């Protein structure tokens, strides 16, 4: 493996990133977050930049983004309330396919998302510990409160979720969630 510094900027603070097989998506830190789309091979080239209000409003920010099957899952934090919004968007146009408000989530703390099998999504909230399981059409399936302070989540293979907090990692079979 060779690591090479490719993107540098004195004016852009990257906060999250995700990729497809052919593209790299980076979001910026702060209110009115932007999303940059790059092609990484054979050299990094900026393809598109989406700015507020296309990405989020001027008093919102992108807390997380993940690519899955030509879609971007976005966790968007709000200044005015203790909720976040999870949106599924087209990776080509950034048009919103659906959006779901997730209540009782303090959006100033880590809220992360993870794609799952069958186009479903998991969103984990750290401050007021919750794990939201969202169906492929944007309907909330369940809310799990058994974890202490989940800070991130990822799917391992087809049948295992890794959920971690500051002290430990939980492994859960996907069939117990879906």
Q: What average pLDDT does the chain have?
A: 86
- Note whether residue 50 is domain-resident: yes
- Note whether residue 4 is domain-resident: no
Q: What percent of the chain has pLDDT over 90?
A: 47
Structural domain range at position 96: 14-176
Domain count, the chain: 1
The CB density around residue 123, as the number of other CB atoms within 10 Å, is 27
Note if the pTM is more than 0.75. yes
Q: What is the CATH number of the domain that holds 105?
A: 2.120.10.30
- Note whether residue 67 is domain-resident: yes
pLDDT tens for each residue of 19-58? 999 999 999 999 999 999 999 888 888 999 999 999 999 9
pLDDT tens for each residue of 141-171? 988 877 677 778 888 888 888 888 778 888 8
For 139-152, b/e burial (b = at least 16 CB within 10 A) is eeeeebeebebbbb
């Amino acid at each position: 493996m060779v690591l090479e510094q490719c993107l540098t900027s004195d004016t852009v603070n990257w906060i999250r990133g995700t990729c497809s097989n052919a593209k790299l998506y980076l979001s910026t830190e702060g209110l009115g977050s932007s999303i940059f789309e790059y092609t990484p091979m054979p050299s990094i080239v900026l393809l598109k930049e989406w700015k507020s209000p296309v990405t989020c409003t001027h008093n919102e920010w992108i807390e997380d983004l993940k690519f899955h099957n030509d879609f971007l899952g976005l966790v968007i934090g709000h200044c005015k309330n203790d909720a976040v919004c999870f949106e599924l968007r087209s990776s080509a146009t950034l048009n919103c396919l659906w959006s779901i408000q997730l209540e009782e989530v303090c959006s100033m703390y880590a809220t992360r998302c993870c794609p799952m099998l069958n186009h479903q999504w998991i969103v984990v909230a750290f401050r007021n510990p919750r794990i939201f399981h969202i169906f492929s059409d944007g309907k909330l399936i369940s809310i799990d409160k058994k974890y202490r302070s989940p800070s991130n989540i990822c799917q391992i293979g087809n049948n295992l979720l890794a959920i971690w907090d500051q002290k430990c990692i939980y492994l859960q079979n996907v069939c117990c969630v879906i």
